[in-house]
Structure 1
Amino acid sequence: MSISEIKRKLADYCVYQDRSHWEVEQKMKSYGYLNEEERGEIIIWLIQNNFLNEERFACSYARGKFYQKNWGKIKIKMGLKQKKIPEKLVEKGLQEIKEEDYLEVLNLLAKKKWEILPREASVFNKRKKLSMYLSQKGYESFLVYEVINTFYEN
C-alpha cells in the first residue's frame, strides 16, 4: 500500500469519528511496516488537514461518554488516559461537561437504579448496590454518598 493510499484510509478513519494520535498510530501499524519518517509524515499531514486534532478528540470523547453513556468524570478521565491524551487536554475535555447536567444525570441514574433494585432487599444492601453501580459508572465517591444520603435516608 502506498503512502497516499494510507493517508486516504487514515483520513477516512478520522472523518468517521474523532481519533487520538495513539489510535491513529495503532491503525497505521495494522497497515504493515512504515518507518518512523513515513509515520511522522502521515501524522503531520493528518494534523495539517485537520483530520487529527487531540483537543477536539478529548472534548468530543468527554461529551459523548457523558451525554450518551452517562459516564462519570473518573471513567472518562481513565478512558482518555488509556488513549494517551495529555493531562492538560483531559482537563479541557472534562470542562465540556456542565456541572448542573452532571449532578442532574447522577441524580437521575441514582433514582432509576434505586427503583429497580429488589423491594425486599434491606436498605443497607440497596444503598451498597447503588453505590457500587454509580462508582462503576465513574462518579466521584463523595458525590455518590451525598446522593445516596440525600434521597434515600429511610
Structure 2
Amino acid sequence: MTEITETEAFRKVAAYCAAAEHCRAEIVEKMQRWGLPYDVVNRLADRLEQEKYIDEERFCRAFVRDKYRLAKWGKVKIGQALQLKKIPKLVYLPLLNEIDEADYLSVLRGLLAAKRKSVRAASEFELNAKLIRFALSRGFEMKDIRRCIDVPDEEAFEAV
C-alpha cells in the first residue's frame, strides 16, 4: 500500500467534501482508513472545518431535508441517524423542529394510505396495529401516528 502525504490527503478529502455534504465523523473515518496518523487526521479535519469544507449545521440541514422529503423518514429515525454520525443534539434538534407540522403529517398520511392498500388484516384493530408498527419503524412518533389513524389512545393496544 502506498503512503499518502498530508498534502495529498488534504487535496483528496477537500475534493470529496466539495462534491457532496459530509460530516466530520465521515471524513475522519475515511482518512483513518487511509492509514493516516490520528494527529494528522485531526489537523486536516480542523483545517477542513476552518475552510468551510465541513460544516455540521449545513450537513444536518441537507441530511434532514433529504431524509424527510425523499426517504420519508420521521423525526425519530432522522435524529438517530444523526446521532450515529456523532452530530450533537444541539445542532440537529432545532433543524428537526423547523419541519412544518402540517407538511410532516401530510407525509405520514400519504405513507399510511399507501401502506393500507398492501396490508392484509382480519380486523380494523389488526390493520391499525400493523400501520402503527410500520409508522414507528419509519421514525414517526406515536402522538403523530394517532393524529393520522383513528386510534383513541395507546392504552387501547395494551389492553388486548
TM-score by length of 2: 0.86
Distance 1:14 1:137, change over 3 A: same
Within 5 Å, give how 1:1-150 maps onto structure 2. 1-36=4-39, 38-118=40-120, 121-149=122-150
Whether the 8 Å contact between 1:63 and 1:96 is mirrored in structure 2 is no
Q: Secondary structure at the match of 2:149?
A: helix
Q: Which amino acid aligns with 1:67?
A: R
Q: Distance in 2 between matches of 1:42 and 1:86?
A: 21
Q: Which amino acid aligns with 1:11?
A: A
Whether the 8 Å contact between 2:28 and 2:42 is mirrored in structure 1 is no
Q: Distance in 2 between matches of 1:95 and 1:12?
A: 32
Distance 1:9 1:96, change over 3 A: farther
1:30-82: CA deviations, max 9, x gaps?
Answer: 1103241x223211221122110001011111111000000000000001111
Identity value in percent: 32
Distance 1:5 1:82, change over 3 A: same
Q: Which amino acid aligns with 2:99?
A: I
Bigger shift: 123-132 or 88-97? Answer: 88-97
Q: Distance in 1 between matches of 2:38 and 2:93?
A: 33
Q: Which amino acid aligns with 2:80?
A: M
Q: Distance in 2 between matches of 1:112 and 1:35?
A: 48
Q: Which amino acid aligns with 2:107?
A: V
Q: Distance in 1 between matches of 2:38 and 2:24?
A: 16
Shift of 1:13: 2.1
Q: Secondary structure at the match of 1:22?
A: helix
TM-score by length of 1: 0.89
Whether the 8 Å contact between 2:77 and 2:139 is mirrored in structure 1 is yes
Q: Which amino acid aligns with 1:137?
A: R
Aligned residues: 148
Whether the 8 Å contact between 1:60 and 1:93 is mirrored in structure 2 is no
Shift of 1:96: 4.2
